[in-house]
Amino acid sequence: MTAEKTLPILDISRLDAGPAERGAFLRDLRHTARDVGFFYLSGHGVPDALTREIVAQSRRFFALPTEDKLAIEMVNSPHFRGYTRIGRELTRGAADWREQIDFGSERPRLPIGPDTPAWARLQGPNLWPAAQPELKGVVTEWQGRLTDIAVRLLKAFAVSLEQDENVFAPIYETGPIQHLKLIRYPGRDATESDQGVGAHKDGGFLTLLLQDENQGGLQVIDQSGDWIDAPAIPGTFIVNIGEVLEIASNGYLRATVHRVVTPPAGRDRVSVAFFFGAALDATVPLLEITPALAAEALGPATDPQNPLFREIGQNYLKGRLRSHPDVAERHYADLLDPTAKREPASAY
């Protein structure tokens, strides 16, 4: 571990601080996204009261009786929504020692026919805990607030790459992925390994993470292969680049490997992760960046265990099937090869 290394802090309010400061922020954003792929975001405008409330609601949910949580277990949802017990989600074949509840965009099921693409089954309603009716309003507001921040960042990334600020709008405006996870990592005394979440990249546009201010665990790998601790900084989100931006920029914007280490015995860690992605029916464009910027692009990373597709629905479904084999077997058995070894994809 290299303790002296830290992630940069970027203040998004600089976008409104005049032309000079705006230009400096865009340069900082571009360099950070290329060289690190992770940063702290301040100046985002999310009220402290809402931040405290989403954390309190998360704690309240995980304190519910087991039967209340299992009543909305994810295995009951073909849309990969609901509660997942500790050790039931996988990253690269190993259990992630966390419990969580997943929410997506609250939309109706799509009609399914013989020619409907398999990813269409992903759209549908969330599962809400009957014992905690107030959770729905807080989750919905959080999704809305963070969607606004994510769109603002996407526009800034586009301008930083000398593109029109709305270059990505056609692939998210029709219905973006708004995937929210409320997560609790139990202490080492309640797990079988120190893998809170195994090393992976995220698969969408951007991730905005609200971290536990009392317990760390997130680590980010740098270009030299060192793991950098990324503890919480009050008033900020951790932001990281997803594979969609890496593909669209031909590797200029960098999706970075990261993991979460299990807390010490007797402690736990709660985090709120928001993954913003393109619409399921979209295809990732390849931006025509200037020769000067193109010369700095590294090209998208390749991983034979996690092939990437430009088709958003196909890519997202791949990750869900591999990370949640119990849901895959119950609701997507027609897509599975019973003779194949199914390796899980990223935790997205």
- Residues 228 and 257: their CA atoms lie apart, in Å, by 11
- Of 208, 53, 68, nearest in space to 138 by CA: 53
Alpha carbons 313 and 320: distance in angstroms, whole number: 11
Domain that holds residue 156: 9-335
347 within some domain: no
Domain membership flag for residue 341: no
**300, pLDDT greater than 70:** no
Distance from C-alpha of 193 to C-alpha of 23, rounded to nearest angstrom = 45
Residue 208 lies in a domain: yes
Domain membership of residue 348 (yes or no) is no
Q: Judge whether 199 lies within some domain.
A: yes
Average of pLDDT values for 162-174? 95
User: Has residue 345 been placed in a domain?
Assistant: no
pLDDT digit string (tens) for 228-242?
Answer: 999 999 999 999 999
Residue 2 within any structural domain of the chain: no
44, pLDDT greater than 70: yes
Residue at 83 is within a domain: yes
CATH number of the domain residue 150 falls in: 2.60.120.330
Domain count, the chain: 1
What are 69's two structure tokens? 């949580």
Q: Quick one: pLDDT at residue 301?
A: 62
97-131: b or e for each residue (b if 16 or more CB lie within 10 Å)? bbbbbbbbbeeeebeeeeeeeebbbbbbebbbbee
- Overall average pLDDT of the 200-223 stretch: 94
Asked if residue 305 has pLDDT above 80, the reply is no
Residue 140: count other Cβ atoms within 10 Å of its Cβ: 15
